[in-house]
């Protein structure tokens, strides 16, 4: 299947990002732990030059733990501060503070030399759509967080959330645009729900997901849906699922569109188990 993305969105998003990045010291980049390379936009490395960097492998609760360990090692080796996260839970957030300090140590040191003490680090959360940016900001900020209001020089509408004495967070996340020339990357993002479903043919997408699971993660479909994988071709999976889940139209025909949606929803919600779509090697890193 052919997945298209519109360059118009990219130009606008990039311009907005450039403006916001001028205001901050630290980029907190969320990637999807199930596809950490595909869900990154490498342009952020250029846009964020000179800034502190922190990578959060979000939705780690849905990812394969062994694969996440490989990704942690990969990003650490590249010099990033990196942490696994379930943005919906507050557990683990305490570990963030020392990481922020480490990621910004050059800035803190520079301030100190100039006699500026205790100026808070200003941070911004970035990531592609659906990666968990808003969830993370809400978990981090909580209800107690005070918004510090607009300030001179701050882009209209931007507000800072004071997390503590050391960190202020821009309240609106930066939206990175998915980037792919390679259709495999597009497909992985589509499986995860990071590309608007409206522009995709969901029946085809679900069939591609079936193919991927049959070939790369044998047993996953059989285990959850209690179907027989042996001899089952990708294009037959939806019919099989429609049968076992009684997803039928009025006349008793399989409702393949509803079944496609069911499979994608189940996969994205982690009901089929913890599946990571790429290791660093598979992603060509
Ligand atoms: P965005 O701002 O980057 O676009 O993402 P957002 O926070 O809206 O999160 C997208 C979806 O991912 C939400 O689910 C959210 O609950 C879920 N999510 C975020 N972080 C995690 C995580 O670490 N683990 C898991 N399992 N899910 C996470 P939703 O179904 O779209 O909304 P809701 O029904 O949860 O409100």
Three-state DSSP string of the chain: CCCCCCHHHHHHHHHHHHHHHCCCCEEEEEEECCCCCCCCCCHHHHHCCCCEEEEEEECHHHCCHHHHHHHHHHHHHCCCEEEECCCCCCCCHHHHHHHHHHHCHHHHHHHHHCCCCCCCEEEEEEECCCCCHHHHHHHHHCCCCEECCCCCCCCCCCCEEECCCCEEEECCCEECCCCCCCHHHHHHHHHHCCCCHHHCCHHHHHHHHHHHHHHHCCCHHHHHHCCCCCCCCHHHHHHHHHHHCCCECCCCCECHHHHHHHHHHHHHCCCCCCCCCCCCCCCCC
Q: Could you report the per-residue pLDDT of 102-152, keeping only the tens digit for each? A: 999 988 899 889 998 888 999 999 999 899 999 999 888 875 444 444 444
In a domain, 177, yes or no: no
Q: Could you report the per-residue pLDDT of 162-182, keeping only the tens digit for each? A: 888 889 999 888 888 887 888
Residues 156 and 243 in one domain: no
Nearest-CA residue for ligand 1 atom 13 is: 132
Q: Report the C-alpha gap between 128 and 190 in whole angstroms.
A: 12
Q: Using most ligand atoms within 8 A of CB, pick from 135, 170, 177, 268 the residue to mutate for ligand 1.
A: 135
Structure tokens at 100: 């922020």
Indicate the residue among 122, 154, 171 that finishes a domain.
171
Residues 212 and 139 in one domain: no
Residues 167 and 208 in one domain: no
Residues 21 and 159 in one domain: yes
Residues 89 and 148 in one domain: yes
Domain CATH for 256: 1.10.1580.10
Nearest-CA residue for ligand 1 atom 22 is: 59
Give the pLDDT confidence score for residue 5 in this predicted structure.
Answer: 65
Residues 49 and 103 in one domain: yes
Q: Which domain holds residue 256?
A: 201-268
CA 251 to chain CA mean position, Å? 41
Instruction: Give the position, in ligand 1's atom list, of the atom nearest the Cα of 138.
Output: 7
Residue 6's pLDDT band (cuts 50, 70, 90)? low
In a domain, 176, yes or no: no
Domain CATH for 132: 3.40.50.300
Residues 124 and 60 in one domain: yes
What's the CA-to-centroid distance between 232 and ligand 1, angstroms? 33
In a domain, 279, yes or no: no
pTM over 0.85: yes
Higher pLDDT, 144 or 285: 285
Q: Report the C-alpha gap between 26 and 107 in whole angstroms.
A: 9
In a domain, 189, yes or no: no
Indicate the residue among 133, 153, 171 that finishes a domain.
171
Q: Could you report the per-residue pLDDT of 186-209, keeping only the tens digit for each? A: 999 999 999 887 878 999 999 999
Give the pLDDT confidence score for residue 7 in this predicted structure.
Answer: 60
Residues 60 and 153 in one domain: yes
In a domain, 243, yes or no: yes
Residues 6+ apart with CB under 8 A from 184: 38
Residues 166 and 237 in one domain: no
Residues 218 and 150 in one domain: no
In a domain, 256, yes or no: yes
Q: Do residues 103 and 54 touch, judged by C-beta distance below 8 A?
A: yes
Residue 238's pLDDT band (cuts 50, 70, 90)? very high
Count the neighbouring beta carbons within 10 Å of the beta carbon of residue 103: 25
In a domain, 275, yes or no: no
Indicate the residue among 131, 150, 171 that finishes a domain.
171
Higher pLDDT, 156 or 65: 65
Residues 153 and 211 in one domain: no
Residues 65 and 141 in one domain: yes
If one counts the domains in the chain, the total is: 2
How many CA atoms lie within 13 Å of 247's alpha carbon, on the beta-carbon side?
18
Higher pLDDT, 66 or 108: 66
Q: Do residues 234 and 211 touch, judged by C-beta distance below 8 A?
A: yes
Q: Using most ligand atoms within 8 A of CB, pick from 127, 130, 173 the residue to mutate for ligand 1.
A: 130
How confident is the prediction for the chain on average, in pLDDT? 89
In a domain, 184, yes or no: no
Give the pLDDT confidence score for residue 8 in this predicted structure.
Answer: 67
What's the CA-to-centroid distance between 263 and ligand 1, angstroms? 18
Phi, psi of 3 (to 5 degrees): -105, 125
CA 198 to chain CA mean position, Å? 19
């Amino acid at each position: 299947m052919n997945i298209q993305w519109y360059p118009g969105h990219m130009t606008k998003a990039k311009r907005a990002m450039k403006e916001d990045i001028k205001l901050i010291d630290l980029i907190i980049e969320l990637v999807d732990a199930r596809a950490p390379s595909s869900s990154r936009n490498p342009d952020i490395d250029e846009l964020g030059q000179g800034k502190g960097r922190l990578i959060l492998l979000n939705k780690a609760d849905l990812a394969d733990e062994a694969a996440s360990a490989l990704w942690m090692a990969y990003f650490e080796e590249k010099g990033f501060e990196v942490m696994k996260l379930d943005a919906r839970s507050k557990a683990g957030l305490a570990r963030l503070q020392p990481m922020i300090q480490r990621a910004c140590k050059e800035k803190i040191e520079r301030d100190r030399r100039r006699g500026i003490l205790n100026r808070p680090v200003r941070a911004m959360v970035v990531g592609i759509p659906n990666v968990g940016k808003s969830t993370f900001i809400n978990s981090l900020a909580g209800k107690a967080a005070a918004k510090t209001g607009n300030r001179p020089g701050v882009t209209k509408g931007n507000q800072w959330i004071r997390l503590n004495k050391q960190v202020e967070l821009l309240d609106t996340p930066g939206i990175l645009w998915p980037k792919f020339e390679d259709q495999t990357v597009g497909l992985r993002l589509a499986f995860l729900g990071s590309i608007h479903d409206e522009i995709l043919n969901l029946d085809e997408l679900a069939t591609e997901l079936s193919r991927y699971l049959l070939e790369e993660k044998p047993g996953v479909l059989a285990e959850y849906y209690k179907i027989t994988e042996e001899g089952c071709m990708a294009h037959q999976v939806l019919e099989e699922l429609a049968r076992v889940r009684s997803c039928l139209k009025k006349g008793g025909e399989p409702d393949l569109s509803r079944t496609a949606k069911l499979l994608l929803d189940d996969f994205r919600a982690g009901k089929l188990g913890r599946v990571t779509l790429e290791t660093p090697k598979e992603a060509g890193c």
